[in-house]
Chain A
C-alpha cells in the first residue's frame, strides 16, 4: 500500500506556503469583532463576511496550485513552528483531503455568512454572532489543515467551543442555554476518547504527526484497535453518532444559519474526517475498529431516519436527517479507500443540500414569525417560490432522486457496503426508503396542502441576500454528485491522500439490484408520505400516534436512556462523591491547606525584621552548607 502520510512536496512555496492565512484571516476577524466590541457593530458583519471570503479565495488559489502539480506531488507540508519542543511541530498539511474540506468549509461557510446578514438583521447582537462564526471557521480549518493530532485536537476543541457559544447564542432562552450545555458535556465524552487515544498513540508510536505515523509500521493488534476505538468515540461525539447522538437534536436551539453551517454541513462531519484521516493507520479495511465504525454508522443512519419520521419541528426533522446522513458517511468510512472516497463525496454533497435545506427552513421560519412546527405550515409553495424550489431541489438530492447529487454519493456508499458487508448494505437500503418517507413528509407538510397558519402569520419571500445563497447551494445540490462520482473523479483525486490505488475506477452500477431496490424503496416511501400528508389533511395538533411514533418522537428514548443510565447514577455518584468530599477529601485537603498555611504562619515569625536575626540565619546557613559539603565529600 502507498504510504498515505508520506509528505512528498517539502515545505511548500507559492500560495500553499501562505495557507496559514486561511486560519489566520477568520481568527483575526473574530478577534477584532470580540475585542472591538460595540464599536464594530456597524460594519462587523461585513468584516466577518470579508474574512470568510478571504479564506475561501486562499483555499481556491491553493487548489489551483495543487492542481498544477503532478498528482504525486499533491501533498504539501507547510511547517509553521516547533510547538512543544521535541514533541510536536506545528504545521499544516495541504493535500487533496484537507483542501476538499477547506473548500467546503470556506465555500459553504461564506454563503452562510452572507445569508446571516439578512437572517440576523434584526438581532442587536449580530456582530457577536459573526465573531463566533468566524471563530468557528478558523477552528474548523485548523482541524482539517493541521498535520498532526495535537493541532487537530486544538481545532476540534475550538469548533466545540464555537458550537457551544452559538447553540447558546440566545442564552436568555433557558432551552438554548441547556442545549448548549448538553452539547458541550456530551462532546466532552467524545473528546476524552480522542485525547486518551492520542495518549496511547504517543506512548505506542512516539509521534502524533500524520507523517510520523505514516513512517511507523503499524500492526493491527490490541493496542492499535484500542486507539481506533478511542478515536471513534471522539468521532461519535462530534458527529452525533450513537451512542453520543443526543445533543444534536437539542442543538437546533441555535440560530438557523448555525444549524446549517455547524450542525449540518461542516462541524458534525469532523468525525468522518477523523476516521478517514486516520483510516490508513487505525481503520484499515477489515479491522475491528472499521467494523465497529460500520456498525455505529448503520445503527445511526437508521435511528436518525426513524427520529426524522416523527418530528413536527422542521429543524429537528432536518437534524434527524443529518444524523442519518452522517451515519451513511461513517458506514462508507468503514470500507477502505473506495469507501472513504464515497464518504467524503457524500459529505461534500450533503454539505450543499443540507445547508440548502436548513437555510430554506430558516427562510420559512423568517417568513412565519419563527414558527418551527410544520403542522402550522402548509401551502407555502405559492407564497415563497424561490425558497420552495431550492428546498425541493435539496429534498430531491437527499432522497437520491436519479441524477441529482445525493443519488450518486449515497448509492456509492450502499454499493460499497453491500460488496463488503451485505447486512449493513441492505440496512442502508432500508434507511434510504425511510429517508424518502420522512423528507417527503416534510415537503408535503410545509409547502403543499391547506394553509394551517397562525392568524398573524403573513408569509413572504425572503430578501435576495438570503435567497441568492439558497440558489447557489441548490446548484451544488444538483450537479456536484455527478461531477464528483462519474468516472471516479473524486476517488482518483483523493486516492493518494487516503492510500488507495490511483489507476482504479470504483464501480458505479445504477441498474444493479441494490441500486434499483433503493430507488423502489424510496418511491414507496414517497408514496406513503403522499397518502398520509399530501392527500390527507394534516391535523394542527399532533395525534397521539402508535407506540412506534412515540418511540421516534422521544428520540428513541435516547434521552431517557441517558438519564437513567448516566444522569441519575451520575447524580448519585456526585452526591456520594460530595459526601466523601466533604467528609474525607475536604478534611484531607483542608487539613493539608491548614498545615501549609499554618507552617507559613509559623515560619513567618522567623522573619522578625531584625537584621541581626537575618545575619544569624545566614551564619547558620553557612554552617549548614559547610557541614553538608564536608559530609557529602567524605561519604
Chain B
C-alpha cells in the first residue's frame, strides 16, 4: 500500500503568515465565545498585536536568519527578498488601516437589516457592531501576504480568494449610504468571481502546456518548449486578465470607482493600498518568474494595457465630482505607472533588480500616501456622513488650513511633484523603463521611451485634477453651510502623521528607503 508522504513545512520561515492566520482564527473564536460588550476591546489589541508580531517576525527573519534561498512548503511559497519587503509594507499599511477602522463608527450596526427599516433602527439603538471586521481584516491581510509570495498558480489562486472574500464582505458594511455600499459589495463580488474564473481557466491552459502549475516548472517548460503554442498564449492572456483585474488596469478597471466609493472609507484605504501592493507583487512574480522567458510576447501587450490604463485613469478622473471616485481613478492611473515598471525587464540580473527596487519603492510610498489621503477624507463630514462631493471641499483651506494643507501635500505626492515621495517613485520607475529600452536588442527598444512619454503625459493630465482640488480648497470661498471637520482622535492623528512622515521623508531624504528596497530586490525572486 502506498503511503502519502507528509509535506515538510518550514514553520519558521512562514511564521509571519501563520501568525496572522492564527490571530484571525482566534478572532473568530472571540466572536463566538466572548460577550458582545467585550468583543471590541479584545479584538483591537489582538489584531494590533498580531500585526506587530508579524512585522517583528519579518524583521527578525531578515536580520537573523537572512532571506531564504529556496521556496518553502514543498515549493509552494517563496519567501524571498521582494516578498519579505512586500510583507513588511502590507503589515504596516494594515496596521494603520486597522487604526482607521477602529477610529469612528464607519460600520453598520447590523448588515442584515434592510436599510431604513425598523430592524436597522433597533440595531443602532442597541449599539450593535460588526466586530467580525477585525478577524476579516486579518484574513484579508493573510491573503494579501500569501498572494505575492505564492510560488505556484494554485496557491496563488487560493491566496487571491482568501484576500478577496473578506473584502467583498467588508465593502458592504458602510454605516451611511448603505445601498451604495451594498451595491459596491455585490458588484465587487460578481466581477471578482468573474475574473477569478479567467485566472483559473488560464491556469488550466498553462498546466496543459507546461504540465505543472509551479512557476519554476512553467519557466523551464518555456525555456525548452515552443513559444507559439496557442495553449500557452491563450492561457497567458486569461491569467493576465485575472491579475490585471486585481490591480485595476484598463479595460478591467470598471469596478474600482464604484467599489472605492461605496465601501467604508477605511476599507477603501486598505484596498487601495494593501491590495494594490499585493497584486502588483503577484503580477511581478508571475510575469517575471514564470513567464520571464517569453517577455518578447507579453511586453508589447502590456505596453498597450499600461498606456490605456494611465490614460483612462487620468482622463476620467478629470470629470469626477466625488472625492473617493477621483482617488479611485487616480489609483487606476498609478496602476498604469506601476505596469511601466513591470515591463522594464533587462537581460541582466543587475538591471532587473534595479527595476524591481524601483517598483518596491513606488509601492511603499504610494501605499502610505493613499492611506493618508483616505484618512483625511474620513474627517470631512456632512450631516449624512462624509462630505464626498468635491464642491463641499471648496474653501476648506480657509477653515481648516492644517487639514487642507495635509491633503494638498498628499495630492502633490500623487502628482509626483519634487520633494514629495511621489516624485522619486515615478523617477525611479521611469528611469528603469528608459534603461531597459536602451539595452541592445531589447524587444521594445524605443517603445519603452514611448511608454515613458505616455506616462509623463498622463502625469500632466493627472496633475490637473490634483491641483484642481488644491485650488478648490484654497482659492474658493467656503460655503456658508460647509462640512464640519471632526477633531481627529489620537489614532487618526497617528495614521495621518505616519503617512505624512513617509511622504515627506521619502521625498526629501529617500536614500534609506531606496537602500532597503535595493537590498530587498538584490536577490530578485527565487524560483
Contact = CB atoms under 8 A, between A and B. Distances in A.
Given A618-B245, A626-B237, A629-B298, A596 B251 contact: no
Contact of A630 (B191, B233, B255, B298): B233
A633 B228 contact: yes
A633 B297 contact: yes
Interface string A335-349: 000000000000000
A43 interface: no
A615 to B, nearest CB: 5
A596 B318 contact: yes
Given A609-B258, A622-B238, A622-B241, A614 B191 contact: yes
Contacts of B241: 618, 621-622, 625
Contacts of B254: 606-607, 613-614, 617-618
A628 interface: yes
Nearest to B183: A609
Interface string B299-342: 01100110000001001111100000000000000000000000
Interface in B132-174: none
Interface in B172-211: 186-187, 190-191, 194-195, 198
Contacts, number: 97
A624 interface: yes
Interface string B274-296: 00000000000000000000001
Interface residues of B, number: 44
Interface residues of A, number: 31
A599 interface: yes
A570 interface: no
B340 to A, nearest CB: 18
Contacts of B244: 621, 625
Which of B194, B230, B233 counts the most A-chain CB atoms under 10 A from its CB? B233
B301 A615 contact: no
B194 A625 contact: no
A597 B511 contact: no
B186 A622 contact: no
B252 interface: yes
A625 B245 contact: no
A600 B320 CA distance: 9
Contacts of A617: 251-252, 254
A621 B251 contact: yes
A599 B318 CA distance: 10
Contact of A603 (B227, B237, B255, B312): B312
A634 B514 CA distance: 40
B252 A632 contact: no
Contacts of B296: 632
Nearest to B186: A611
B257 interface: yes
A628 B245 CA distance: 17
Contacts of B32: none
Given A621-B252, A626-B233, A596 B461 contact: yes
A615 B198 CA distance: 12
Interface string B410-430: 000000000000000000100
A614 to B, nearest CB: 4
Contacts of B187: 611, 614
Contact of B234 (A620, A630, A632): A630
A625 B201 CA distance: 15
Contacts of B428: 85
A122 interface: no
Contacts of A620: 251
Contacts of B237: 622, 625-626, 628-629
Contacts of A630: 230, 233-234
B248 to A, nearest CB: 12
Interface of B: 186-187, 190-191, 194-195, 198, 227-228, 230, 233-234, 236-238, 240-241, 244-245, 250-252, 254-255, 257-258, 296-298, 300-301, 304-305, 312, 315-319, 428, 461, 509, 511, 514
* Closest 10 pairs between A and B when the two form their complex, measured CB to CB: A621-B251, A614-B254, A626-B237, A600-B319, A625-B237, A600-B318, A622-B241, A628-B301, A629-B233, A611-B187
